[in-house]
Amino acid sequence: MLIKISDKSSEEFYTPIPEGYKAGKTKYVIITGSVISGIGKGVFSSSLGKLLLDRGLNVTQIKLEAYLNVDSGTLNPYRHGEVFVLDDGSETDMDLGSYERFIDRNLTGDSFITSGKIYKGIIEKERRGDYLGRDVQFIPHVTGETKMVLRNLAMKSKADVILVEIGGTVGDFENMFALEAIRELRYEDGEENVCVVNLTYILEPSSVGEFKSKAAQLGIKRLIEMGIQPNVIVCRSENPIPNSIKEKISMNVNVPLDKVIGAHNLTNIYKIPLFLRKQGVGDAILDILNLKNKFGKNGDKKLKDWTQKMTVENPSKEITIGIAGKYTGLHDSYISILKALEHCGAKTNSKVNIKWIETTALEKGKGEAKKEMKGVDGLIVPGGFGTRGAEGKIACIKHARENNIPYLGLCYGFQMAVIEFARNVCGLKDANTTEIDQKCKEDVICILPEQEELDGLGGTMRLGGYDVFVKEGTQAFKLYGEKKIRERFRHRFNVNTKYIDVLEKNGLVFSGNAGKKRIMQILELPSHPFFFGTQFHPEFTSRPLKPNPCYLGFVKACLNKK
């Protein structure tokens, strides 16, 4: 039962509550990690969402991230992986992409909160005098506003269960705000309404030759020291762990043995939801939340069918896709692209291999496009910013265009394709983008007019979902089958309208645009087997069993070439 709380400045129980909120109407599953980072909390949370959704629950998800950035928009991909853009324009952690793909729902900015966003809101309230002269403190104000975020999401989504992933690892100083808020949430809403799942890592040192659980025990005890007793322990490991390890953990951290569950590595992430179901994760959580009688028997056949369709056991063909970018040292920088290709592989019963092409090296003369692209059946040039690696991308695009290799250009890859075509087909030898050279003579790519007066970087691009109007009779129309589609954007620059006529006169077709605004959004080359570019990011809307049409058309073209 929700304890009596107030948002009055004179009371210690400062906890703002949305009007009409009732404890227990929406329940919470909290996912934390211990021992090390990178053990798959995001994939686990996504898989758990899929598992519960297929059992008939209304599920939504949220990530509480520790860093002080207000959002992920200004982060270098090498720091935190891909920036995933939601339909409402929110720039988020890549885990939000995983959530959307597994539960097949569009999320909003309400599902991504950073400590920076919490603190920014608190400072703005304090400056307005909303705290009525009270000294603003970590407890109760930071934790109170964090709980308000979760309860607001409960009211807006009307979900049966909200999955809450806490970024970082138990013991990190920066995520204390989230963990303390969770402790208070359970205290206020009642233990039967908040289930805490801790993903811990079980070490298997090669020099010892056996599993060691001491680090896991200490990590979980750190969580308990903070006043949070976990309900379920999921033991991540390279290989299946013996029952003796589960028994040690159960005894040392006060979690029943049937709620200590092993989760070793699998070859295919799309098998994880069904695997977790078979391991009893769903039953354990529903039991703790008193939902087992209501949702205990749903979802088996549906989940098995989904898993089977997303598993390619005996591929009929095999292709290799070259990805030419400048962040190839961290594959998470392009995670949505990789997942979109996986969706196409399942749809076409084919195996899609990746060859990484580091365009910075090409630009510095450490290789040539022809050699780097040897053996590829198709080329993708992904999004990016700045000068580094740009000429290497242009060289790869030229090779793909001249040798009839299927090409898919995404955002920056769309712009680089325009520059390559302008230089080598239209004869505009000085063609470039003002992002690289502000004084270039042939600025075929220039900044969007509405971007010219902006000062800051964060959240100021053309972001989120926009309508794209598709010309009939084009390849784009053939792929989508509709005259108006919706895709997600993240850019400041576009095709300079002064050059559209000369580009089209020489054979380039702009088959998608923004309608009233003359912003070119899809390009294609009819004389080529598949030469296609999008100013938007089609990978952000690709889902298991529903690959984005751009990617599916590209992969089919690669298979036909093979």
- CA-CA-CA-CA torsion sign (10, 12, 17, 20): negative
| 263: CB partners within 8 A, 6+ apart | 44, 199, 234, 235, 236, 237, 275, 276, 279
Cβ(276)–Cβ(47) below 8 Å: yes
Question: How many angstroms separate the first and last alpha carbons of the chain?
Answer: 62
Give yes or no: 537 in active site: yes
Structure tokens of 357? 């092409």
Query: Please, what is the angle between helix 335-348 and helix 549-561, to 10°?
Result: 60
Rounded-to-integer distance, Cα 360 and Cα 48, Å: 39
Residue from 80, 141, 343, 537 carrying the catalytic annotation = 537
Residue 494, helix vs strand vs coil: strand
Structure tokens of 217? 């025990």
Structure tokens of 148? 């308000």
By DSSP bridging, strand 462-470 and strand 484-491 are: antiparallel
Residue from 195, 235, 396, 411 carrying the catalytic annotation = 411
The amino acid at 486: R
H helices of 349-411, where? 359-363, 369-372, 390-402
Residue from 184, 358, 539, 558 carrying the catalytic annotation = 539
Cβ(219)–Cβ(34) below 8 Å: yes
Query: Please, what is the angle between helix 115-128 and helix 176-189, to 10°?
Result: 80
Phi-psi region of 324 (alpha: psi -120 to 50; beta: other; left: phi over 0): beta
The amino acid at 225: E
Rounded-to-integer distance, Cα 66 and Cα 81, Å: 15
Decide: residue 119, CB within 10 A, 0-12 exposed, 13-18 middle, 19+ buried.
middle
Longest dimension (CA), the chain: 75
Catalytic site residues? 411, 537, 539
